[in-house]
Structures are given as structure tokens and as C-alpha cells.
Amino acid sequence: MSTMIVFRAGSPLRRLAVTLLAVVIFRVGQNVPLPTVDLAANSVEDDSPLYWVIDLLTGGGFRLPAVIAFGVLPVLVARVLMRNLVPVIPRLSALAAEGEAGTARIARYTRVLAVVLGGAGVVAAGIGDRGAIPLVVMAATAAAGTALAILLAELITKRGYGDGVRILLLTQVLAVAAVEFWRLVQAKGVAAVIVALVVVVVVVMGTILVAQVQRRIPVQYAKRLIGRRTHGGTPTYVPVQMAQRSGPIVLAAVVLAVPALPGLLWSDATWLSAITAVLWDEADPVRMVAYAVLVGVFAYARSAATSVPTTIASKLVREGGFIPGIRPGNPTAQYLEYVDRRMNAAGALYLGAVALLPEIAIAVLDAAPRFPFAGVAILVSLIFVVDVALTTAKQVETQLQMIRYQGYLR
């Protein structure tokens, strides 16, 4: 196979090369310092929890600070802001109702807002020399770096594999996670490697298995005679999957953190300090049990709230479909709700059990993470990594199938 064929437009290797090249350029941009920045003044190591969180969110670019100081964080913030502004501002609501053209304009506004946030973040942080000209130069460079990150993300989305923003976010999270893992290995030795590998393998394998698990409810459609041809009658199924979102993990951590805040504010009160010590320590058995229960409850509640068995049952009635052995209408909705509840309960139990793994690892290693909720961050990062990997793998599989069938379509 010649090089021209291997790297032709749309080929898997070319898409892979584009993705890798964009990731490399992105990481280089996160390691090139901004102009007029005093590197000696900004090279002091700080082990505070705040800097750990900033490193995780920005991929280490803000600590330098780098040309792409905030990574893809401005893009994510801009998307959230625009999503909340569209229903409020009439002009944006009108654009959203215009279809693809309006959506394209809103996307353009989102990109501009992300660039502005990237430059404004440097100004708000007051990095380096506070003179007007150096600050303007740094802000303009950081804005240009954010624009470059947006360009690379769109390049990956259009000509590479996966969603560009998610791929770059995964890149910066892994970059920080690798440094933190090396710090843990230096502190705890081979035991850290073994425990970390066990946690990673269990979480990854469990997430992949749960993502593939389906309860397929058979559906039969009535045959209809249209003209001289018979339509329908082909058996199919309604897939019911387990819930495995990472939202309940974060929400449970926040709920446990709120009662601990008074102990931080009023440290003189002994009983408040005792509550804070329990809720702030991820290796505490009481905190671990409470955390697992909250994760399971929130996961089940969220899945139950988003379940739509009545809608599915109504759609089956309209289309002439039915579940064998179940009467159409309300009995079908009740059966779907019954199956959905059982799947949600299984998914909630899985998520509650998996949520304990990083905390058990911290307890076994007797590690002292720099961030109070490091176990939560580790688990969310692992689930995010697996989710991005599965999505990208499905896209690669789709591309390979398209190439395989191209010969039949000519």
C-alpha cells in the first residue's frame, strides 16, 4: 500500500496523525511561557490545594504561565455561559430558532467569548509585571493561545478522531495526573504502583462493561398491507442501559464538604473541628460509607428522574409496536418502568462501589494528597478517560466500516 493511499483524506492513519499533531502542538503551547513573565518569580513550588486544582483544570499551563495558560477551560466556561444566556437574551433565542445558520452564529459568539475569557483571565490574575504594556502583551498572547486551542480542537473534531475539546481536556488532565502519580511513586515506592494499577484496571474494566451492558426488551410491530407489499412485522428491541454518569460522584463530595465548612471557619469549636476532620478525611471509614451511600442514592435519583417509560410506551402505540406478553399502553409503561428501576439500581450499586476504590487506595497507601478530595478527582478523571476512549473507539470503528464498504458503493 503506497504512502498516498495510507494518508489519503479521511483515512484512519491520517486522522490519527492529525489528532496526535494537534495534541503535541497543544502541549507545546502549554509549556511556552508568556512574554514579559519573570520565570524565576513564577517557578516557586506551591503544594497548596488551590494550586493543585488550578493545575488539574488548566493542565499546568497557568502555573508557568504559558501561552495556552488555561487550556480548553475558557471554551468550557464560554459554552456554559452561552447555554444559559440563550434562553434569557431574545436575540440569541431568535438565532437558536433559525436552525443551522443561527446555531453557527451562536457557535461563533461562543468562540469569541472564549478568546476574551482567555485574555481576561491573565489580566484578572495579575500575572507578572503589572505595567500596562506588559499586561496588554500578555493578555493578547493568552487570547491568541486560547484561539489556537479552539482551532486545534475544531481540527481534531473535523479531521481527527473524537470531540476536539474533550480530547484536549483529556490531554491536560493526563499531563497533571502523570506528575502526581510520579510524586506518589517517589513517596510510597512500588506499593503505589501496584495499588494504582489495581484501581485503574478495576475502574476501567468496570466502566467499559457497564457501558456495554444492555437489557434488550423485545418489540414486535404489527404487519401492515400497503398496496401489494407488507410492511412492518420485523422484531426489534428497546435498549435499557445502566446509569454511569460521574455527576453523582461530584455531587456527593460537595454534599459531604458543606457540613465540614463551619469547622474550617470556626476552628475553636471542638465538635465542629471533629466533624470536619471526619468529612475531610477520605480514608475515614464513616466518611467512606456515607460517601458510597450518597453516590448510590444520587445516581439512582438522577436516572429515575430522566427515565421516560411513558413516552416510549406512547410511541410504541402510535407506531403499532408492542412487547410480547405485555398489553400496550399503561401496562407497557409499567413494565418498562420496572425494568428501568432494576437497571438503575444495579448502576447505582456499581457507582457507589467504584466510588470507594480511590479512597480505599488512599487509606491503604496512607497517602496524604495535596487536595482534600483527590479521590473524587481521580475517579472522575478515570471515568472521563474511559468515556472519551470509548467514544473515540466507536468513531474509529465507524470510519473503518465506511472504508470497508466503499468498494461496494462505487
Provide φ and ψ at 267, rounded to 5°. -70, -15
The Cα–Cα gap between 174 and 181 comes to 10
**Predicted pLDDT at 151:** 96
**Predicted pLDDT at 5:** 46
Residue labelled with grid coordinates 469549636: 269
> What type of residue sits at position 272?
L
Taken in order of first residue, the domains within the chain and their CATH numbers are: 3-187 (1.10.3370.10), 191-409 (1.10.3370.10)
Provide φ and ψ at 230, rounded to 5°. -100, 125
Establish how many alpha carbons lie within 13 A of residue 181's alpha carbon, considering only the half-sphere containing its beta carbon.
16
**Predicted pLDDT at 2:** 44
Which contacts (CB < 8 Å, 24+ apart) does range 333-340 have? Answer: 333/309, 334/309, 335/217, 336/217, 336/238, 336/240, 336/309, 336/312, 337/307, 337/309, 339/215, 339/217, 339/240, 340/240, 340/303, 340/304, 340/307, 340/309
- What size, in residues, is the chain? 410
**Predicted pLDDT at 6:** 46
**Predicted pLDDT at 49:** 57
Cα–Cα distances (Å) from 188 to 49, 176, 195, 354, 360, in that order, read 20, 18, 11, 23, 15
Residue labelled with grid coordinates 444520587: 298
The Cα–Cα gap between 275 and 315 comes to 51
**Predicted pLDDT at 26:** 95
Contact predicate 376/253, CB 8 Å: yes
Q: Provide the residue-wise pLDDT of the chain in tens; the chain has 410 residues.
A: 444 444 455 577 888 899 999 999 999 999 988 887 766 655 545 555 556 667 777 888 887 788 998 999 899 899 989 988 888 888 888 888 888 888 899 999 999 999 999 988 887 766 655 677 888 888 899 999 999 999 999 999 998 888 899 899 888 888 887 877 787 777 777 777 788 788 888 888 887 788 788 888 888 887 766 666 766 667 788 888 876 677 788 788 778 877 777 766 666 667 777 777 777 777 778 888 888 898 889 888 887 777 778 888 888 888 788 888 888 888 888 998 899 888 888 888 888 888 888 888 877 777 655 555 666 777 777 777 787 888 888 877 887 777 777 666 55
Is the omega angle on the peptide bond into residue 87 within 30 degrees of 0, that is, cis?
no
